[in-house]
Structure 1
């Protein structure tokens, strides 16, 4: 039987009894503990850190959020750590749901607060529920079919006569016609992927309403085969006008079939496991939120890559990739989102800001802004960082702001001297 254990990033896990379980300390079965240790060694070989092993009895999670399902049936739900103190399970879960929805560019009505309040299931169940609802709506609008050419032998002419095959007929079979004709079938890449995702969801849903909806949808798609090459079928996913009603379900389908974003859990066990690097998720959440409040004549570019740190031997070295680049006419602003907790009351400790972040922003400013303009480091807002810090001046022409981003409202708190082209009401 599957058991769900909810924790948050950087939580400590143990096989021993925990007197007061919380989001920061939890007990897991020994089999799940051993499996996570083996999984961590696989991640380490690829340069990622899933957990940190503290002796033989404790594991400390890193900054990944999402869901990991172990072969023994333990489902570990890892939530963001955005506030200190208290077991704020539902607040953390809803925040993660909003961030995922914004990162996948989903409609506002799906990511809205009202929808989230109505569904308080663990993260993986929420994702599967959203997929089932999107698939149900798609089927009601109509599954797209495609023409497939088949070869057949008939006693009557249908479609086109294949003369080459016909003249090779034995003498006693001249009355049998070798023909080719097209039939309209729903066997196309998009439908095969949906069928494959539905089969996975149907095996893992826990809530009765979701289970019933999954079984009903399986009946409707029973004539469609499953995908045998998921990557190839995704590449063939059509995005033309006739397939516009398929686009809302595409991110959910990718999330379920790829199981995580962007990491892969390798090995033979393939439960519902989805991992999100919190730094990347925060960056996408900020980008999606700012894109909604940009001035009409401004444009937001993510992961710009037009500049490098230096030139060497006829080429360039060390490409510079700022998280966010805002362009408005000839003006530019560079922003970097950091999932770190700084403190406005600790000036003596440089507000806990990393010196390397300043070096990075200085390089961005020199290369992308030609040494004149505004830069901004964006950090999550919390009790210790509720207002923008005073401006940091590299020189008279290049300035850097440290701005708080409100995770609940999805809004960036601007400093009074900033010229960022954002239109908050």
Structure 2
């Protein structure tokens, strides 16, 4: 398998590239054509995976993750948070941390030393985390449940099905139609885990992952794979008796790509995982601000309490800010944007439509009285909050950087945001 590592907005071509970088790479013609076909399916859904730049060049959009083409090319796409860096390791670690935050995993579930040493592609890392979590679950014990069995036996066992027995033909009257319960591991949670495990067994290219997957497959040989992932996912229990299943569930959902809204799977049977960077950044910021919020503060994601206008008695155009922070009678509206700003750029690189959007949020959620904020990733050219933009003397817009490495919102104290610890950092 050919492995190619690039980052967001990289250019890909079939022509020879003298010096491949994270922003320029060469792929085979078959991989190039497959990416074009995949982009057409994204386009029908209103998204864009790549942009055609001439006949032999493609420009990636803001999706990150891993794509495996049918011809055997593994394309790893990393975040572009550092402008000129050519080392993929920091970007890969950042992406892993953002995925963990989106899956709402505790930090102790993945040790730092393992992240330093395990430098496999993102898909192998996801499969490795699933296998480790599944191995821990199997060691603690797979949950069994009673399964109703209806069969025909030459002896009595359990309950005789009288109605079915009366319908037996004379030639089979000596056989008993029975109903009985069997204590079996055949339950929705285990079927989903087995289905994900089978997919890992066929997709992994790592010898360590393959060895552990085969061992777990043998230990779960009595469990059938799920035939209806959606139904079994809806039947996954979350009560106290199933608490030890929760650490493996996000990884299982990610591999089956059925219930995680951020994951977008390719049509090829290989391990393809794509994440829209806008949503990933939003989840990452929300996760860490929720952790830093004091008990008296509520942080709502994707709030739905306001509309832009009314028409013929109906509300139209719902306004959904990324974050709505409430503390007592005070409220703040925050919106995240995955975009590089700079202090020396025209209007700092801000989009006029984003300013209009925050203006509308402020008027509908705050009645035009209070502070709203746009949050962008911090970098060397944008490492401090901008001075407030005044819509009116009582209504201001703030533009704040979020430190991706230290998970800190810079300048939050000036806005009066009630976060503590690593959730916010003063203006510098």
2:350 paired with 1:350: no
- The DSSP-based 3-state class of the residue aligned with 1:248 is coil
Return the TM-score normalized by structure 1. Answer: 0.95
Separation in 2, partners of 1:175, 1:416 = 83
Relative to structure 1, is the Cα distance of residues 61 and 157 closer, same or farther in structure 2, using a 3 angstrom cutoff? same
The question of 1:200 aligning with 2:208 is answered no
Give the aligned partner of residue 408 of structure 2.
411
Q: Does residue 375 of structure 1 match 2:375?
A: no
| SS of match in other structure, 1:362 | helix
Matches within 5 A, 1:181-192: 181-192=180-191
1:60-209 map, 5 Å = 60-111=59-110, 113-169=112-168, 176-209=175-208
Q: CA deviation at 1:140?
A: 0.7
CA distance in 2, matches of 1:30, 1:187: 45
Contact 1:98 1:111 in 2 (8 A): no
**Contact kept? 1:261, 1:275, Cα under 8 Å:** no
**Corresponding residue number in structure 2 for 1:278:** 277
SS in 2 for 1:65: strand
Aligned to 1:29: 28
CA distance in 1, matches of 2:3, 2:170: 70
Q: Is the 8 A contact 2:161 2:179 kept in 1?
A: yes
User: Aligned-pair distance for 1:179?
Assistant: 2.5
Partner of 1:324: 323
Quote how far apart the aligned CAs of 1:166 are. Answer: 3.4
**Paired residues, what number?**
421
Instruction: Tell me by how many angstroms 1:123 deviates.
Output: 0.6
CA distance in 2, matches of 1:41, 1:169: 57
**What is the SS of the residue equivalent to 1:116?**
helix
Distance across 2 between alignment mates of 1:206 and 1:52? 30
Distance of 2:292 and 2:360 partners within structure 1 = 27
Please, which runs of 5 or more residues in structure 1 have no aligned partner?
Answer: none
The answer on 1:333 being equivalent to 2:332 is yes
Moved more, 413-422 or 105-114: 105-114
Give CA-to-partner distance per residue, 1:35-81, whole Å, 9 cap, x none.
11121122222211111111111111011000111000001000000
Distance 1:398 1:213 in 2: 57
Provide the C-alpha distance between the structure 2 equivalents of 1:295 and 1:111, rounded to a whole number of angstroms. 25
Contact 2:266 2:272 in 1 (8 A): no
Deviation at 1:295, TM superposition (A): 1.4
Question: How far apart are residue 175 of structure 1 and its match?
Answer: 5.6
Could you say if the C-alpha distance between residues 108 and 286 of structure 1 is closer, same or farther in structure 2, counting changes exceeding 3 Å? same
Structure 2, unaligned runs of 5 or more? 423-428
The structure-2 alpha-carbon separation of the partners of 1:296 and 1:57, relative to structure 1 and needing over 3 Å to count, comes to: same
Q: Which residue of 1 aligns with 2:426?
A: none
User: Does the 8 A contact of 1:308 with 1:319 survive in 2?
Assistant: yes
Which deviations, in whole Å up to 9, do the C-alpha atoms of 1:146-182 show, x marking residues without a partner?
2111123345443222222334456676664432110
Partners of 2:169 and 2:69 in 1: how far apart? 61
CA separation of 1:167 and 1:52: change in aligned 2, threshold 3 A: closer
Equivalents in 1 of 2:266, 2:413: separation in Å? 49
In structure 1, distance between residues paired with 2:168 and 2:356: 78
* Residue 341 of structure 1: how far off its partner (Å): 0.8
Q: State how far apart, in whole Å, the 2-side matches of 1:16 and 1:383 are.
A: 34
CA offset digits 1:77-132 (Å, max 9, x no partner)? 00000011131210010010000011110111235533311311111110000000
**Residue 112 to residue 216, structure 1, CA distance change in 2 (3 Å):** closer
How many Å apart are 1:264 and its aligned residue?
4.1
Indicate the SS of the match to 2:309. strand
What is the deviation of 1:385?
A: 0.4
Within 2, Cα distance between the matches of 1:111 and 1:361?
A: 37
Task: Kindly state the Cα deviation for residue 244 of structure 1 after the two structures are TM-superposed.
Answer: 1.1
The answer as to whether partners of 2:262 and 2:279 remain within 8 angstroms in 1 is no
What's the RMSD between the two structures over aligned residues?
Answer: 1.7
Change (3 A) 1:120 1:263: closer
Worse-superposed segment, 31-40 or 122-131: 31-40
Residue 234 (structure 1) aligns with? 233
Instruction: List aligned pairs for 1:235-254, cutoff 5 A.
Output: 235-254=234-253
Cα pair 1:261 1:276 within 8 Å, conserved: no
Q: 1:266/1:81 Cα in 2 relative to 1: closer, same or farther (>3 Å)?
A: closer
TM-aligned CA deviation for residue 223 of structure 1: 1.6
